[in-house]
Structure 1
Amino acid sequence: MRDSLVRDNATALYRQIADRLREEIAAGRFEPSGRLPSESEIGIRFAVSRVTVRLALDRLEAEGLIERRKGKGTFTVGKRVRHPLDRLRSFHESLRLQGLNASMRHLSAGMTDTPPDLTGQFGPNCLEVRRLHLVDGEPVALGRSLLSAELAGVDWAAAGEKPVYAILREVTGQPVVGADVEVKAEAAGAAVAEPLGGAAGMPVLVMIRRSFFADGACADHAVFHVRPERYSFVLSHRWEG
């Protein structure tokens, strides 16, 4: 449906479009992904040329309200994906529950030496699984899970987007009942930055999560390296009195 502009107004058409989009950004119209329509779609909506649309977007970009991502589209600045730390959810499930176009890409799965602090749980060798989490096709987090060797028989490539927690329950017959989580920031090395579409030294948020079964045994030890531009960790607390 077309949205009319005042054609004989002294205010240029591109400024009127910028004003409309600015109001819609403030009202949260483009949530939850923060993605604006394409230049072509905006042009059809207002019945203007793409040159006029680009001038409007240039204005909003200069104001710091939007950012253009090559091959991805135009997004509102400051729109952040929220990951609640007070709920036991997989990383992928948390994205999907926010209504986001979330996907997960299998990268690798194989046996590796167990870190010294986990040998008491997993023995000398454990399974390492690496997955890339994406929103609108854009990488947002690189996940690395260390798991018991009994998970080595899982066809992780065929598992697709099934959460680790669901696979753990299927294989062990036990649900994950809790997790300890630590969040910090660091500069990413090349092995982390490349899958995330960045360069070595880029800042990332790091979520370290140790999940456990009801008997206290470690279910998985996961590390997520997260692009911080549009991602935040949230902890809610209610005082009881």
Structure 2
Amino acid sequence: MQQSSSPLIRENPTSLYLQISSLLREEISSGLYEPSGKLPSEAELGRRFSVSRITVRLALDQLVEEKIVERKQGKGTYVSNKQFRHGLDTLRSFHETLLIQGLKPEMKLLSRQVVEIPEALRTTFATENNQSMLIERLHIVDGQPIALGKSYLPVKVQAINPESMAGKPSYKAIEEVTGLQVIRADIAITAQLADKKVAELLEIEIGMPLLIMKRLSYLSDGLCCDHSLFYIRPEHYEFVLSTYFKLT
């Protein structure tokens, strides 16, 4: 990311680090560090402003104290409370909604196995002998887990090798093996507290609140092809929906 160099006023009675923190605060407010929210490294900022790393660190300390930025050990400095957005008025996979924001999300495949479909889904889910492919994946942005996805998909998905499946959005996998298009999804948003397993995977404390997105997706032939639950860290994620008055 390129920033225009803003020379500091060396004779200004305001400390250099306060000038730097003020400039960074303005840049953050203008959205300069979107979409990831990551600031340049201390070394890069030092070169930009021609100051020592200690001066840069003092400037960042000021922004941390104001809760404008946060440091992530081994990863860098990020805008605090950076929000990833999931639009509910367009049908996209969880992974694709992150991609279109200019992010570089990763998916870590935790498990995949053929299981018996839960009884509650058998009347609507397109299954073969009541079987389904259960896939669990961790969604990661900038090295930080933001969501755990648990999906029941058509058993045909097992034909896709694990390495390919790790980075393939569910909808693309479904369309690849069925030859049909996913055309509709019913989505519900709820909340619950993180249990031990989910807390460990998302690197949060047990009992912290989570957003839960439940999704049922349907193929062009009308059959349900996907039942997914996403356990989402809420501090960096929001769901948005555009609505309009109906003209009479």
TM-score bucket of the superposed structures, by smaller chain: over 0.9
Q: Which residue in 2 is equivalent to 1:132?
A: 138
Structure 2 counterpart SS, 1:22:
helix
Count how many residue pairs are aligned between Structure 1 and Structure 2: 241
Task: Give per-residue Cα distances to partners, 1:54-89, cap 9 Å, x unaligned.
Answer: 111111111121111112211112320000011100
Query: CA–CA distance in 2 between the matches of 1:132 and 1:175?
Result: 25
Given that 1:72 and 1:138 are in contact with CA atoms closer than 8 Å, whether structure 2 keeps it comes out as no
Q: Which residue in 2 is equivalent to 1:53?
A: 56
Counterpart of 1:141 (choices 124, 147, 172) is 147
Matches for 1:177-196 after TM superposition, within 5 Å: 177-196=183-202
Counterpart of 1:28 (choices 27, 31, 36) is 31
Q: Does 1:118 align with 2:124?
A: no
TM score, norm. by length of structure 2: 0.92
Q: Which residue in 1 is equivalent to 2:81?
A: 78
Query: CA–CA distance in 2 between the matches of 1:97 and 1:48?
Result: 36
Counterpart of 1:201 (choices 176, 194, 207) is 207
Structure 1 runs (4+) deviating above 6 angstroms are: none
Given that 2:137 and 2:166 are in contact with CA atoms closer than 8 Å, whether structure 1 keeps it comes out as no
Unaligned runs of 5+ in 1: none
| TM-aligned CA deviation for residue 125 of structure 1 | 3.0
Q: Which residue in 1 is equivalent to 2:160?
A: 154
| TM-aligned CA deviation for residue 100 of structure 1 | 0.9
Task: Give per-residue Cα distances to partners, 1:181-234, cap 9 Å, x unaligned.
Answer: 011111111221222122322221110000011232111001111111111011
Structure 2 counterpart SS, 1:51:
helix
Query: CA–CA distance in 2 between the matches of 1:202 and 1:73?
Result: 24
Q: Does 1:214 align with 2:220?
A: yes
Amino acid at match of 2:196: A
Task: Give per-residue Cα distances to partners, 1:92-146, cap 9 Å, x unaligned.
Answer: 1110101112222222100223212112323533210111111122211111110
Query: CA–CA distance in 2 between the matches of 1:117 and 1:24?
Result: 51
Query: CA–CA distance in 1 between the matches of 2:130 and 2:24?
Result: 57
**Percent identity over the alignment?**
47
Given that 1:2 and 1:47 are in contact with CA atoms closer than 8 Å, whether structure 2 keeps it comes out as no
TM score, norm. by length of structure 1: 0.94
Structure 2 counterpart SS, 1:33:
coil
Counterpart of 2:68 (choices 65, 68, 85) is 65
Query: CA–CA distance in 2 between the matches of 1:195 and 1:100?
Result: 21
Given that 2:183 and 2:220 are in contact with CA atoms closer than 8 Å, whether structure 1 keeps it comes out as yes
Query: CA–CA distance in 1 between the matches of 2:222 and 2:171?
Result: 15
Query: CA–CA distance in 2 between the matches of 1:97 and 1:3?
Result: 31
